[in-house]
Structure formats: C-alpha cells, structure tokens
Amino acid sequence: MDKIKEILIGTNNVGKYKEICDLLPKTVKKYSLKEFKISSPEETGNSFKENSFIKASYFSKKTNLICLSDDSGLKIDLLGGLPGIYSSRWSGEKNNFNLAIKKVFKEMQKAKEDWRSDDNKASFVCCLTIFWPNGKKFSSEGIINGKISPKKIGTNGFGYDPIFIPKGYKNTFGEMSPKLKMSIDHRYKAFLKIKNFF
Ligand code: IMP
C-alpha cells in the first residue's frame, strides 16, 4: 500500500483541525480548507459516518486531493443520544457552545430534575473518513465514554470539552492538557484505525 504523503484536512472547525494535524505524522504535508477558501457542505446524513463521508468526498472532489474529514459529536444518555449528529448546531446558532452547553443543562434538568446528584452517562463519538480522488474511501469510528460534569469547568479545548468528564478521570476535557486529551479521546481512537495509511 502506498502511504499517503499529502492530505487535505477537511474541516472548518479550528479545534478539530489542530487535533487532526497533531495526530498525523509530521512528515505528511497538510493542506487546510482555508487555503482553498471552501465552505462546508450541508450535513444531510443520518449518522456520523454518512456526514464524514459527505464532507471528505465533497472536499476531495473540489481540490483533487486526498481528504480526511471528521464528523463527531456528544451523545447524552439522558437525552436519548442527543445532541449527537446535531452537536455543532444544537444551540440553533452554529458553533455557539456557550448557548449549546446551557441548552444541555436545561434539557438534562427537564429529563431528570436531580441529574447532578446521580451518575449520568455520555460519550463522544468520532468518525473519520479518508476519500481519494479515484473514489476509494475508508472510514473508522472511535468512542470515549464518560459523563456530563455538573458544571462547566476549564478553558482548554473546544466545543463541549468543559462539560465532558471521561471515564476513569476526575477532570473535564476542558481542564486537561491538550496532549492528554488527544492521547485518549474519540478522535485518537478513530485515528488508530487509519494510521497505517500514513
Ligand atoms: P461536526 O462534526 O462538524 O458536525 O461538529 C461536531 C461538533 O461536536 C463540534 O462542533 C463540537 O461541538 C462537538 N465535538 C466533537 N468533537 C469534540 C471534542 O473533541 N470536544 C468537544 N466538542 C466536540
């Protein structure tokens, strides 16, 4: 198998872009969507896998480069798996996470008034898809289990990081060093399954 030597990182999310670049070997040349001024396609799929495929194929076709795209999100058991594939638009305003986190707390309270005094379950899921200009594709999924923190803590990371506590840890992703988060999270676990392409 020919190793991938250059790749387009198919995301307009700065937090994801940074994590994906850091996971890939330094020797791989990385292109960003900024260099091509391409905005993201509509995510019309019903799963993380479908949406990551929509993005990777769209960006690859636009640039004629091999593209790696991520679709990911937070699933909360008490909310029946929401926000899930709607994570980035959960607040109604795309990528407004102050609002989205407020909505998470509000909806959890509605579902179970005393949720803070009990254990709850949540997970982050990530699907990575590589799409080649010749139509070849490969997808992998990574999951990290944990729970929702009773309050927002920490300023590291992005998105829902300040309210997610991974299983086996006491701190939120927002409190962890980026290095620690990146060595245990859903994106890392999905990456382990595609790393041999690089
Ligand atoms: P999308 O995959 O672009 O639809 O967006 C996924 C959304 O899920 C992001 O905008 C974040 O809100 C959330 N998300 C995915 N991965 C992470 C993570 O590692 N930390 C925090 N939030 C995340």
Could you give the CA distance from residue 57 to residue 64 in angstroms, rounded to a whole number?
Answer: 10
Measure 26 CA to ligand 1 centroid, in angstroms: 24
Could you give the CA distance from residue 133 to residue 154 in angstroms, rounded to a whole number?
Answer: 40
Rama region for 177: left / alpha / beta (φ>0; ψ in -120 to 50; rest): beta
**Within the chain, which residues score under 50 in pLDDT?**
none
Two structure tokens written together for 149: 């923190």
Nearest Cα residue to atom 13 of ligand 1: 73
Residue owning tokens 């991974």: 166
Ligand 1: residues within 6 Å at CB? 13, 43, 71-74, 87-88, 95, 124, 157-161, 173, 185
Active site residue 22: no
Two structure tokens written together for 47: 């799963």
Catalytic pick among 70, 71, 161, 185: 71
Residue 90 pLDDT: 86
Question: Residue 131's Cα: distance from chain center in Å?
Answer: 18
Measure 111 CA to ligand 1 centroid, in angstroms: 23
**Pick from 15, 56, 10: nearest CA to 36:** 10
Instruction: Name the pairing type of β-strands 29-32 and 67-76.
Output: unpaired
Could you give the CA distance from residue 143 to residue 124 in angstroms, rounded to a whole number?
Answer: 6
Question: Residue 53's Cα: distance from chain center in Å?
Answer: 14
Could you give the CA distance from residue 160 to residue 55 in angstroms, rounded to a whole number?
Answer: 21
Residue 186 pLDDT: 97
Measure 73 CA to ligand 1 centroid, in angstroms: 5
Residue owning tokens 């594709």: 137
pLDDT digits over 31-72, tens only? 999 999 888 899 999 999 999 999 999 999 999 999 999 999
Residue type, 22: D
